[in-house]
Amino acid sequence: GIRLVNVRGNVTADAVNGSITMRGLEGMRVSASTINGEIDFAGGFQDGGRYYFGAHNGRITVAIPERTNAKLGVSTQSGSIDAGFPVPVSSVRDGRFAVTLGTGSATIEVESFNGSVRLVRPSR
């Protein structure tokens, strides 16, 4: 597995049989993908940034701070989507939904083929 804590800068993390954990990460371009493992992200989303989290077999948990400005797209083929806070969904189709948070200046894509997606607020 991969564990990144308090990293600044752009990050690409790929795993085959392992989980990816990112805590306190700050970057304009962040990509995390795994075939068999979980993804757990708690970091900042910068205006104009691009963020991708993808898992084939595994749960994805993304902590989204209040006042995040992003277009958020979430999809899962064979899993559930759970938001731990109110999400103003703008469109739902074929296991995918899209929502605009704040001004929508960043892009966040979360995709899991065979796993659940959890959207949470960061713990303090």
pLDDT at res. 69: 96
pLDDT (0 to 100) of residue 89: 66
Task: Give the model's pLDDT for residue 8.
Answer: 95
Structure tokens of 4? 């990144």
Tokens of 14: 């790929």
Q: In Å, what is the CA distance from 120 to each residue of 6, 85, 114?
A: 19, 7, 20
Q: Encode pLDDT of 35-62 as tens digits.
A: 999 999 999 999 999 999 999 999 999 9
pLDDT for res 111: 95
Residues of the chain predicted below pLDDT 50 = none
The answer to whether 114 touches 77, Cβ cutoff 8 Å, is yes
Please work out, in degrees rounded to the nearest 5, the angle formed at the alpha carbon of residue 39 by the alpha carbons of 37 and 41: 165
* Sequence-distant contacts of 90-95: CB under 8 A, at least 24 apart: none
Q: What is the pLDDT of residue 24?
A: 95
Q: How many CB atoms lie within 10 A of CB 23?
A: 15
Which structure tokens are listed for 47?
């205006």
pLDDT at 32: 98
Contact present, 2 and 13 (Cβ < 8 Å): yes
Residue 86: what pLDDT?
77
Please report the pLDDT score of residue 84 as a whole number.
83
Would you say 114 and 79 are in contact if contact means Cβ atoms under 8 Å apart? Answer: yes
How far from the centroid of its chain's Cα atoms is residue 35's Cα? 15
Q: Tokens 């899991």 belong to which residue?
A: 112
